[in-house]
Amino acid sequence: MTGAPLLDVTDLTVSLPHPDGSRLFAVRDLNLRVGAGQIAGLAGESGSGKSITSLALMGLLPDGAKVSGSAMFEGRDLLSMSARDRAALRGRQMAMIFQDPMTALHPMLSIGRQMTEHYRHHFATTQAKAMRRAEEMLDLVRIPDPRGALKRSPHQFSGGMRQRIAIAMALCCEPTLIIADEPTTALDVTVQAGILRLFERLRGELDLSVLLITHDLGVMSAVADRVSVMYAGRLVEGGARADVLTRPRHPYTHGLLNALPGAGGSGGMQTIPGLPPSIATHPPGCAFHPRCPFCAPSCKVDTPPLVAISDDRRIACPIDPLAPKKVTAS
Ligand SMILES: Nc1ncnc2c1ncn2[C@@H]1O[C@H](COP(=O)(O)OP(=O)(O)OP(=O)(O)O)[C@@H](O)[C@H]1O
Ligand SMILES: [Mg+2]
């Protein structure tokens, strides 16, 4: 990555209140960078803290959540700025796309009304100008007959088209960063591929940066430049996509890849035994140790830090059982 990253998250920690008065840590010491024009992937099983991370960055955490660390975005720390400054950024310089486009779209209002409201709020401008912008954005995401689409309501579109509209809406105010939380999970595979190609095209055309959150490493391998993998609230591995996905070094990443259809030598789908822990029962030491085939005694005690193993690659596993073996001349 050249120059300062667009988003630079350092030691992000998020805790949520437990009914018994204690705190539950959904995210711990997370470090993440998204460069300008980059698609950075954040992966991990259900409950690993991906959505809480995105909500922390957007300033949309539930009541009672506590957050620490820093998240520098265009030179300002998102985590320490006032609620007012945060709201001014949201939907403008940074926008979010959710798994279910209906979260972003009001079911009863026309697409035109919804798309222009945002734009007019952030750029004091006329309705006619806002409508032109909305039409351009619908055209950009390849909605057929964009002008006609502005008059229709969300239920008149298919799920894939609704997701394209939600993306167009997010793009209206020319954000530099989009956080997309499982944007294709609800869609069938062909539609999913279309949406992923759309992100790739927009990144190229608009120099857009995307933090792409998904539990699906298949989706990641299609578009992400970089991949970070989370387990039980912590990052366990990060690096360039090709490196991480073809030569995983953390046993968890390795397990996730083996569970993909068609992976490995035996037809793939070798699921990792056991289940990810719930937020209330994160095990001591390395949270993955109860499921790890390479678990050593120290893994049950010490929480492994994320360590750089090369310029561009980090893992949180001191055992490093998947490191390439040194060939020694005999
Ligand atoms: N409002 C909340 N109060 C208490 N715990 C919560 C709250 N929201 C999420 N959690 C817990 O925080 C942990 C992380 O949740 P999060 O939604 O970030 O997971 P995720 O990685 O996005 O999972 P998924 O793939 O299912 O979307 C989970 O254990 C979840 O149960
Ligand atoms: Mg989630």
For 170, left (φ over 0), alpha (ψ -120 to 50), or beta? alpha
Per-residue pLDDT tens listing for the chain (330 residues): 556 799 999 999 999 999 999 999 999 999 999 999 999 999 999 999 999 999 999 999 999 999 999 999 999 999 999 999 999 999 899 999 988 888 889 999 999 999 999 899 888 899 999 999 999 999 998 899 999 999 999 999 998 999 999 999 999 998 999 999 999 888 888 888 888 988 998 888 888 999 999 988 888 888 999 999 999 999 999 999 999 999 999 999 999 999 887 765 555 578 888 999 988 888 999 999 999 999 999 999 999 999 999 989 999 999 999 998 877 665
- Which atom of ligand 1 is nearest to 233's Cα? 14
pLDDT computed for residue 100 by the predictor: 84
pLDDT at residue 222, as a whole number: 85
Q: Look at the alpha carbons of 151, 156, 161, 164 in this order and tell me if their dihedral is positive or negative.
A: positive
**Residue nearest atom 5 in ligand 1 by C-alpha distance:** 16
Q: Ligand 1 test: best mutation among 48, 55, 61, 235, most atoms within 8 Å of CB?
A: 48
Cα separations in angstroms, 170 against 45, 98, 118, 166, 177: 26, 10, 9, 6, 10
- Tokens, residue 241: 């996509």
Pocket residue to mutate for ligand 1, from 25, 60, 279, most atoms within 8 A of Cβ: 279
Query: What confidence score (pLDDT) does residue 2 get?
Result: 53
Instruction: Output the residue whose Cα is nearest ligand 1's atom 24.
Output: 46
Which ligand 1 atom sits closest to the C-alpha of 182?
27
Q: Please, which residues bridge with residue 203 across strands?
A: none
Which residue's C-alpha comes closest to atom 26 of ligand 1?
46
What pLDDT sits at residue 6?
95
Ligand 1 pocket residues where CB is under 6 Å: 16, 24, 26, 44, 46-52, 62, 215, 278-279
Residue (of 69, 47, 52) closest to 181 by Cα position: 52
Instruction: Give me ligand 2 centre to Cα 135, in Å.
Output: 31
Question: By C-alpha distance, which of 195, 228, 224, 221 is closest to 210?
Answer: 224
Decide which of 3.40.50.970, 3.50.50.60, 3.30.300.30, 3.40.50.300 is the CATH code for 7-93+175-322. 3.40.50.300
Closest CA to 180 of 94, 98, 57, 59: 98
- Alpha carbon distance 309, 306 (integer Å): 9
pLDDT score recorded for residue 259? 87
Helix axes 127-140, 111-122, angle to 10 degrees: 110
d(CA 9, CA 228): 12
Q: Which of 32, 50, 275 gets mutated to test ligand 1 (max ligand atoms within 8 A of its CB)?
A: 50
CA distance 37 to 3: 12
**Residue of minimum CA distance from atom 19 in ligand 1:** 47
